[in-house]
Amino acid sequence: MRFIYVTVAICFFTVAGKAQQPNYTAFTVNDGLPSNYIYRAVEDNNGFLWVATDAGIARFDGKHFQVFTTQHGLPDNEVLAIVKENNGRIWVNCFKQSPAYFDEVQNRFINANEDTN
């Protein structure tokens, strides 16, 4: 009899738990990405999300994309990989080109082969 009371109490007081559904947002060129084809994404130490595409790289601040292309120092617009160093510096590897890193002061990419520092 005690088993029945315990079973009824468990059934009565048990509240069905419902997990929250994750909220995803899909960004496209309509939102400011340079391309819908994304190779990689990396978050930097400042919380920016860097997105490598076949048409440049985009830095996302949570609301807006800032696009960087060859006009902003990239060796090529097809950015295959992004790496964040331990010191926080962002490096990119472009198609058939030498690596480049992002210079926060100049707000542009510097080709590693052309760096005089």
pTM: 0.77
For the chain, the straight-line distance linking the first and the last C-alpha, in angstroms and rounded, comes to 83
Give the amino acid at 89: R
Q: How confident is the model over 97-107, as pLDDT tens digits?
A: 889 999 999 99
- CA distances to 8, 54, 58 from 114, in Å: 76, 23, 22
Q: How confident is the model over 11-63, as pLDDT tens digits?
A: 666 555 556 788 888 899 999 999 999 999 999 999 999 999 999 999 999 99
Residues 81/101, Cβ–Cβ less than 8 Å: no
Domain-by-domain residue ranges, the chain?
Answer: 19-114
